[in-house]
Amino acid sequence: MTMTGNRLALVTGGASGIGRAIVERLAEDGFHIVLVDLNRERADDLVRALKDKGQSAEAHATDITNEEAVRALIDQLPPLDVLVNNAGILRDQPFENCTAADFRRTYEVNMIAVFNFAQAAIAKMRPGAKIVNIASRAYLGARNQIDYVASKGAVVSFTRALAMEVIKRGILVNAVAPGLIDTPILRGFTPERIEAQLALQPTGKAGKPEDVANAVSFLASPRTDFITGQVLFIDGGKSLGGSAV
Ligand code: NAI
The set of catalytic residues is: 148
pTM over 0.75: yes
Distance separating alpha carbons of residues 52 and 84, to the nearest angstrom: 23
Distance separating alpha carbons of residues 137 and 134, to the nearest angstrom: 10
Report the amino acid identity of residue 63: D
Q: Which helix (H) or strand (E) holds 154?
A: helix 146-166
Please state the atom number of ligand 1 nearest to the C-alpha of residue 18: 26
Contact residues of ligand 1, CB 6 A cut-off: 13, 15-19, 37-39, 63-65, 86-90, 109, 134, 136, 178, 180-181, 183-186
Residue 244 is predicted with a pLDDT of: 61
Which of 64, 69, 67, 60 lies closest to 42 in space, CA to CA?
60
Q: How far is the CA of 233 from the centre of ligand 1 (A)?
A: 17
Residue 197 is predicted with a pLDDT of: 85
Q: How far is the CA of 16 from the centre of ligand 1 (A)?
A: 7
User: Could you tell me the fold of the domain covering 8-236?
Assistant: Rossmann fold (3.40.50)
Distance separating alpha carbons of residues 213 and 216, to the nearest angstrom: 5
For a substitution probing ligand 1, which of 10, 11, 16 has the most ligand atoms within 8 Å of its CB?
16
Residue 186 is predicted with a pLDDT of: 75
Q: How far is the CA of 34 from the centre of ligand 1 (A)?
A: 16
pLDDT along the chain (245 residues), means of 10: 77 98 98 98 98 98 98 98 98 96 98 98 98 98 96 98 98 98 84 87 93 98 97 96 68
How far is CA 24 from each of CA 18, 39, 102, rounded to the nearest angstrom? 10, 17, 32
Which of 76, 59, 82, 117 lies closest to 8 in space, CA to CA?
82
